[in-house]
């Protein structure tokens, strides 16, 4: 089955990102195809490479980056939501006159159209939120 | 709405709005998805349940909150061919509201009918 994933909450405060991660991993292991993971609302904060969780805890951001690298996942951060919350790649930082970028490996910034497109193309869009 | 841009697929997409408009950003960012999504020419509906019904209340004044009042945008949805707005009657009544308090024309439905509407969808985006 072709799956689209929407994650609406940031790391650590809510379980949404953890649950989505476990779901995606399990779905891939079962041979399903994950066509896109879309991060919206505070979910964009899953894409910052600047998190430093305690050593004995899971590293949510890094875990997503690794999963993306292993399975060539398309992980998209909503640009409008990202701009509001200070999540940017080098191009966005330059365009907005900011002195740094913080996007983690495996994530890319794009528009909400990518969410709708995933909803249309996937057999199921699975939403992880509050 | 008969032809879709994306390979001819037209899906039934329901946006479920569950939160009051200014306590969290969900209502505003939901609206942003609806507006962008309109370009994809899908079969779109909006549902308002629970505190989500507050999003449609007339006469919102956000001056004191120093937050943008985005409620007029609901009136613009018609221009985007988004015309199916369902409001759960129980949610309205529980909050002392009636259909006349709302900023746009809606179809008030009961919880059972709302369940049917949800079952009829291909995609449900919940905010």
Nearest to A112 among B26, B36, B124 (CB): B36
The span from the CA of A9 to the CA of B92, in Å, is: 27
Residues spanned by the domain of A30: 2-128
Domain range holding B121? 12-126
Report the C-alpha gap between B21 and B72 in whole angstroms.
12
Q: What is the pLDDT of residue B7?
A: 57
Rounding to the nearest 10 degrees, give the CA dihedral for residues A107, A66, A61, B126: 60
**Is B29 among the domain residues?**
yes
Question: Which candidate in A37, A78, A87, A125 is catalytic?
Answer: A78
CATH classification at residue A40: 3.40.1260.10
* Annotated catalytic residue A5: no
In a domain, B36, yes or no: yes
pLDDT above 70 as % of chain B? 94
Whether residue A40 contacts residue A7, with contact meaning beta carbons closer than 8 Å, is answered with yes
List helix spans (H) across A1-130. 16-29, 60-71, 79-85, 90-95, 113-121
Q: What's B22's domain CATH number? A: 3.40.1260.10
Number of structural domains in chain A: 1
Q: What pLDDT digit, counting tens, does each position of A58-115 carry? A: 999 999 999 999 999 999 999 999 999 999 999 999 999 999 999 999 999 999 999 9
Residue B109 belongs to a domain: yes
- pLDDT at residue A10, as a whole number: 97
Q: Is the pLDDT of residue B9 over 90?
A: no
CB contact under 8 A, B127 and A8: yes
Q: Give me the mean pLDDT over the B21-33 stretch.
A: 97
Provide the percentage of residues in chain B whose pLDDT is more than 90: 93
Would you say residue B44 lies in a domain? yes
Number of domains in chain B: 1
Nearest to A112 among B26, B32, B127 (CB): B32
Which DSSP category does A104 fall into? P
Asked if B26 is an interface residue toward chain A (Cβ–Cβ < 8 A), one would say yes
Residues A113-127 as b or e (16 or more Cβ within 10 Å = b): ebbbbbbbbbeebbb
Would you call B123 and A125 a contact, using CB atoms and an 8 Å cutoff?
yes
What φ, ψ does residue A126 adopt, rounded to 5°? -110, 125
Indicate whether B53 belongs to any domain: yes
Instruction: Tell which wins on pLDDT, B9 or A27.
Output: A27
**CA distance to A4, A35, B12, B46, B78, per residue, from A123 (Å):** 8, 10, 12, 21, 28
DSSP secondary structure of chain B: --S-TTTT---EEEEEE-S-TTTSSHHHHHHHHHHHHGGG--EEEEEE-GGGGGGGBSS---GGGTS---THHHHHGGGGT--EEEEEHHHHHHTT--GGGBSS--EEE-HHHHHHHHHT-SEEEE-
């Amino acid at each position: 089955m072709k799956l689209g994933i929407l994650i609406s909450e940031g790391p650590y405060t809510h379980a949404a990102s953890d649950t989505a991660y476990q779901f995606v991993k399990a779905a891939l292991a079962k041979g399903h195809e994950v066509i896109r993971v879309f991060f919206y609302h505070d979910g964009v904060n899953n894409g910052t490479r600047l998190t430093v969780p305690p050593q004995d805890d899971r590293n949510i951001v890094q875990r997503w980056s690794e999963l993306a690298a292993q399975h060539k996942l398309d992980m998209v951060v909503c640009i409008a939501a990202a701009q509001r919350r200070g999540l940017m790649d080098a191009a966005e930082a330059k365009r907005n006159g900011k002195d740094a970028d913080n996007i983690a490996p495996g994530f890319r910034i794009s528009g909400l159209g990518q969410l709708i497109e995933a909803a249309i193309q996937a057999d199921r869009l699975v939403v992880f939120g509050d | 709405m008969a032809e879709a841009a994306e390979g001819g697929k037209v899906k039934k997409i329901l946006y479920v709005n569950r939160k009051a408009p200014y306590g969290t950003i969900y209502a505003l960012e939901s609206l942003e998805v609806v507006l962008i999504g309109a370009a994809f020419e899908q079969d779109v509906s909006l549902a308002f349940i629970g505190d989500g019904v507050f999003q449609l209340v007339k006469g919102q004044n956000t001056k004191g909150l120093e937050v943008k009042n985005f409620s007029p945008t609901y009136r613009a949805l018609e221009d985007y061919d988004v015309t199916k707005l369902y409001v759960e009657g129980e949610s309205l009544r529980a909050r002392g509201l009636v259909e006349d308090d709302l900023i746009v024309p809606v179809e008030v439905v009961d919880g059972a009918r709302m369940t049917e509407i949800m079952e009829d969808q291909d995609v449900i985006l919940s905010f």
